[in-house]
Amino acid sequence: MSFLKDEKFDLIPEGLNKSEHKPRILILYGSLRKRSYSKLLAEEAGRILEHMGAEVKFYDPDGLPTFDYDRSLEHPKVQELRELSLWSEGQVWSSPELHGNMSGLMKTQIDWIPLSIGAVRPTQGRTLALLQVSGGSQSFNAVNNMRILGRWMRMITIPNQSSVAKAYQEFHDDGHMKESAFRDRVVDVMEELMRFTYLTRDHAKFLVNRYSERKEERNKTIEAMNKAEKK
C-alpha cells in the first residue's frame, strides 16, 4: 500500500472504549475465473484493510457445494465458511454483476450462512461493505441486491459502496488496482467499514437486542418450567 504510506486515517473516536485486538474482517468474492476481477478487487480491499490495522481472512469458494439445505451441511467448505463468519466482526462481499445481479457463486456463499446456529447468529450485528465489478458501464445492481441480503442477514451494512466499471482496465498485471477514482472509492469504503466496526463491534449484542426475541425466549423458559412441573 505504498500509495497510502503518507495518509493518516482517523478511525477511532477519542475516548471510545474498545477491544484491544484488531478488527476481524472476512472477505468473500464471487468468481472462480483464473483472473477474477471481483477477487482482485477483494484482494485490493484486503490490503487496504490490513494497512488500516485490520486482521483479514479470505474465504476461497472453490469446491463449495450448491446450497441444498442440509444434505451437504457437514461438507468441509460449508463448515469453514460458517466458522469464518462466526470469527468475523465485519465482512466484505465482492461480486461480479451477471445478468443484472450478483453471481450465483456469491449467492451460494451467502445462502450457506444461516441466520442462526442454535442460539448463535453468525452474521447478526456484524458490519458489511459491498463491492462489485462490471465488464461494461457502471452499474449498481449487484451491490444493491447484496444490500438487501445484508439487511436480511441482520448485518450493519454501511452506507458507502463501490462499483468498478470496465474492471478489466482497472488492474495492473500484478493484480493491484491502478490509480483512479475507483480506487479512491474503495479506500473510502474500507475506511468507513473500519469506523463502523470500531464503533459497533463491542456493542453488537446491544444494538440487535429485540423485544420479540426476548419474548420468545421467555415463553420457551415458561413452557419448559411448566413441563418440568408436570413430571
pLDDT band at 119 (very low <50, low <70, confident <90, very high): low
Residue spans of the domains in the chain: they are 20-230
Q: Is 154 left (phi over 0), alpha (psi -120 to 50) or beta?
A: left
- Local structure of residue 168 (DSSP, 8 states): G
pLDDT by residue (tens digit) across 142-168? 999 999 999 999 999 999 999 999 999
- Residue 197 reports pLDDT greater than 70: yes
- Residue 220 reports pLDDT greater than 90: no
Q: Which amino acid is at 98?
A: L
Contacts (Cβ under 8 Å, ≥6 apart) of 230: none
Closest by CA position to 61, among listed 6, 14, 20, 111: 111
Span 124-143, average pLDDT = 94
Mean pLDDT taken over the chain: 92
From the number of C-beta atoms within 10 Å of its C-beta (0-12, 13-18, 19+), residue 88 rates as buried
Count other Cβ atoms within 10 Å, centred on residue 67.
15
Which CATH number is 20-230 given?
A: 3.40.50.360
pLDDT at 32: 96
What number of helices (H) and strands (E) belong to the chain? 7, 7
For β-strands 90-98 and 101-102, DSSP reports them as: antiparallel
pLDDT by residue (tens digit) across 22-66? 999 999 999 999 999 999 999 999 999 999 999 999 999 999 999
pTM to 2 decimal places: 0.89
Share of the chain above pLDDT 70, in %: 98
Span 106-117, average pLDDT = 90
pLDDT at 17: 72
| DSSP of 22-51 | PPEEEEEE----TT-HHHHHHHHHHHHHHH
Instruction: Report the C-alpha gap between 49 and 10 in whole angstroms.
Output: 13
